[in-house]
Structure 1
Amino acid sequence: MSDWDSVTVLRKKAPKSSTLKTESAVNQARRQGVAVDTQQKYGAGTNKQHVTTKNTAKLDCETEELRHDKISLDVGKLIQQGRQGKGLSQKDLATKICEKQQVVTDYEAGRGIPNNLILGKMERVLGIKLRGKERGQPIAPPGKK
């Protein structure tokens, strides 16, 4: 028999990290003399994938407002007058230019973002110019210039 056979070595196992989630479990492990490492990792437990960058202050100091241009109210009034002059509802005009009714509503209210394709379609259906210097003037029928 060797000396090691009769001696029992008592080792304390460190508890699993899943059991050390609560404050009471951490305190109990400390009382038992187990080394406990308590560090909170930066951003742990949060679902933050997008963090603010250094350029946030630069963007806040930006004086120019970055927005889309809206269609002017006078063009909206021209669309409305031309549509009513032809006896069309907003839905009828939208159907003729192959767009949604909301597009016509937004253009008439001055909320729409100007699109030359849509304005061109409206000009053809309404028969009036909506762009350029000659706004509100009737468009000459095709073939006559």
Structure 2
Amino acid sequence: MARTCLVLAPAFALAIAFGGRLVVGALQGLLGPLSWDLTDGLMIGTVGGIGGSAAYLLAFTAWGQWLVLARIWLPLTGRLPWQPAAFLDDAYRRGVLRRTGAVYQFRHVRLQHHLSRAFRRTDARYTPAVLPSDPPSSARGADPR
């Protein structure tokens, strides 16, 4: 992440600074007198480079998308606790969850059923799974050879 930012920020800064100079030179006669000093171009390029590299990191990398969604958006909307690990540890200490390796499971079957019923009632898109029907009785006893 840091290497990407260290490469992208100067690249964007130089592209904006010198690309802006080319654009101003090309539009000078068409739009009238325009000014693009090198120091102003580098300042604008630096701000744009830092902003562009930060936007790239947040929008187009897995880490950035995780940060925006899981650590900011879901807690803000109340769909996830601000500290999920602390929440899971507290539930484990209270006996609601059990730990199986790296996975947490609800300890009580009644709680599992209650939560699944509550989910089915609130989610309009929920449709129960359709399992294939049993094979005909003649196929069950048939010899596989």
TM range (shorter): under 0.3
Would you tell me which structure has more helix in proportion to its own residues?
2
Larger Rg: 1
Give the TM-score normalised by structure 2.
Answer: 0.24
Would you tell me which structure has more strand in proportion to its own residues?
2
